[in-house]
Amino acid sequence: MFSKRHALIFLSKILFCTIITLGILICIKASPTFKTNFYQQVFERHISFAEINKVYEKYAGFSIPFKDLFIKDVEPVFNENLTYHDKSKYLDGVKLTVDENYLVPTLTEGLVIFVGEKDNYGKTVIISGSNGIDVWYSNLDNPAIGLYENVQKGDLVGSAKDNYIYLVFKKDGQVLNYEEYL
């Protein structure tokens, strides 16, 4: 059963967590620069798995034993380049006019890190590319890939809702200029 020592250790852990939480909340309230920095560090940065994967595969081959060793998984049936009719700036990214219900292909290879709804963008898929840049594919009707799947360049992301999609390019939470990456 629990001795007095165990109870004291447990209580001191709870106290320690409370102190840290309240301390951070106070700092966030007090200083706006701290708030933006903190939010960026916690909510926007992530380990760039796709980048690590690229370096690892260059020197040591595939990281899962036996995958694609003697026989391959699904053969890629969709391998396209992203084509669009028109582009214009939209919030943090670019709005591309495409065909009705266009099947959107990926721009780079990478790991899918988000599938869901984003405010002002619609159904979104965020793919973390092997160059460290996250690409948002938004205003989709139906995402065709699942969370944490690895995709190759040109794989199907989903079908566009209406006739336009939004793309946002971010690195470590900082929005990048879409002109350089399109």
Partner 1 sequence: MKNIYKIKFHPLFYIVVVISILTGHFNEFSLFLLIIIIHEFGHIISGILFKWRIKQINILPFGAITIFDEGLTKPLFEEFIIAIMGPIFQIIVYNVLKSNYDVKSIHYSLLFFNLLPIVPLDGAKIMNILLNVFFPFKKSLLLTIVISVIWLSVLTFLLLINKLNLLFLLILFFLLARVYKELKSHQFIVHKFLYERFYLPKKYRHTKMLNGVDVTKMYKDHNHIFKVNNICYTEHEILRKMFDFKGKL
> Where on the chain is the footprint of partner 1 (CB under 8 A)?
47, 49-50, 52-53, 56-57, 59-74, 111, 148-150
Nearer to partner 1, 1 or 69 (CB): 69
Nearer to partner 1, 103 or 113 (CB): 113
Nearer to partner 1, 1 or 60 (CB): 60
CB of 132 to partner 1, least distance (A): 13
Residues 6+ away with beta carbon under 8 Å from 125: 112, 114, 115, 136, 137, 140, 143, 145, 157, 158
Nearer to partner 1, 56 or 78 (CB): 56
Nearer to partner 1, 32 or 65 (CB): 65
The DSSP 8-state label assigned to residue 141 in this structure reads E
Q: How far is CA 88 from the centre of its chain?
A: 23
List the beta strands (DSSP E) in 57-121: 86-90, 93-97, 103-105, 110-118
CB of 7 to partner 1, least distance (A): 29
Distances (CA, A) of 178 to 65, 88, 121: 38, 10, 16
CB of 82 to partner 1, least distance (A): 22
Picking from 54, 20, 15, 56, the residue whose alpha carbon sits closest to that of residue 38 is 20
CB of 149 to partner 1, least distance (A): 7
CB of 167 to partner 1, least distance (A): 22
